[in-house]
Structure 1
Amino acid sequence: MGSSESKVNTTGRTVEQTKASEVKTGTGQTEGMIRQAAIVGKSDRICGTLMRAQPHSSSAVHHHAEQDTIVYGVSGRGTIAFGPNGQNRVEMNPGDWAIIPAYAEHQEINDGDEEVVWAIVRSGGTPAVVNLKGWGQPPREDQ
């Protein structure tokens, strides 16, 4: 059935699965982070990705346009910086959840010695990532 398996239930709607081996890098990127598409382009209203942050790395300051974002900590310990100049911080441990509102400037940070993995769900069919020149700055031109 191709790269995603679909099954029809009695209501005529399908359940689609993406196997772990089919999760691919290729969604909107910020340096320092590896973003992998898991469920992308299968719904107009929601998508799911993985974010992997290598040890001692951080993303560019960015936002996700009109998309609200839910973050679930899978492994490692990371931080979400947000607010004026990134002065507010939320520590993310395995099992923790966070919500990042649409257009909220933030930065993912991994100050630790192990990879951080977060499962990400966004309110749009394809992830939006708008990298900024810095806190409170316009989008970068290299997008």
Structure 2
Amino acid sequence: MCLAPTVIGVMSGIFSLLPDILPMIMPSKVQITKATDLEAQRDGKDAPMIRQGAVIGKSDRMCATVLIAKPHCSSAVHHHGEQETIIYAASGRGRLVTSSDSDEEPKRHELSPGDFAFIPPWTEHQEINETDENVVWILIRSGPEPVVVYLTGWGGDTAKSDSID
């Protein structure tokens, strides 16, 4: 009687559980990013949308950035590929414009401090600040680093891709 297939089956079952068990056995350390350590990343020297990587490359499942939209500006129309995105409106009143499921015009959603928004993968959207004050949003995405695919317009072709938005 050969037990090798049974042993191999048990071992492969244990190996498949390792990613779930390992953090319980060997927890990773807590990592803090201080507000004073956030580095601004802009599309250009005077770009009105400032992005700050807060938690990038520290987890293979999620990342976080801070988006500061200066008064009277908007981002390009874009999507985040396969990434899911959660927006938390920290301050200011901004608009999230999203593509609709039909041929209708894109839908405008006002986000006020304390509001949350969920953006599914591949959803075209745009951030807009039409006010006289800064808008600050916290963006949390699936994946270790943010993916941004800029488009030439709603339903348009890819214009460029970046790793931070």
TM-score bracket for this pair, using the shorter chain length: 0.7 to 0.9
TM-score of the aligned structures, taking structure 2 as reference length: 0.74
**Which structure shows the bigger proportion of residues in helix conformation?**
2
Cα pair distance change 1:32/1:61, threshold 3 Å = farther
Q: Distance in 1 between matches of 2:37 and 2:87?
A: 21
Q: Say if 2:13 is the partner of 1:13.
A: no
Q: Is there any run of 5+ residues in structure 2 with no aligned partner, and where?
A: 1-24
Q: Which residue of 2 aligns with 1:98?
A: 117
TM-score with structure 1 length normalisation? 0.85
Q: Is residue 2:144 matched to residue 1:125?
A: yes
Aligned to 2:94: 78
Counterpart of 2:154 in structure 1 is 135
Which letter does structure 2 place at the counterpart of 1:89?
A: R
Identity %: 48
SS at match of 2:31: strand
3-state SS, counterpart of residue 35 of structure 1: strand
Structure having the higher Rg: 2
Alignment partners' CA distance in 2, 1:23 and 1:86: 36
- The answer (yes or no) to whether the contact 1:69–1:121 under 8 Å persists in 2 is yes
Moved over 4 A (4+): none
- Equivalent pairs counted in the alignment come to 134
Give the CA RMSD over aligned residues.
2.3
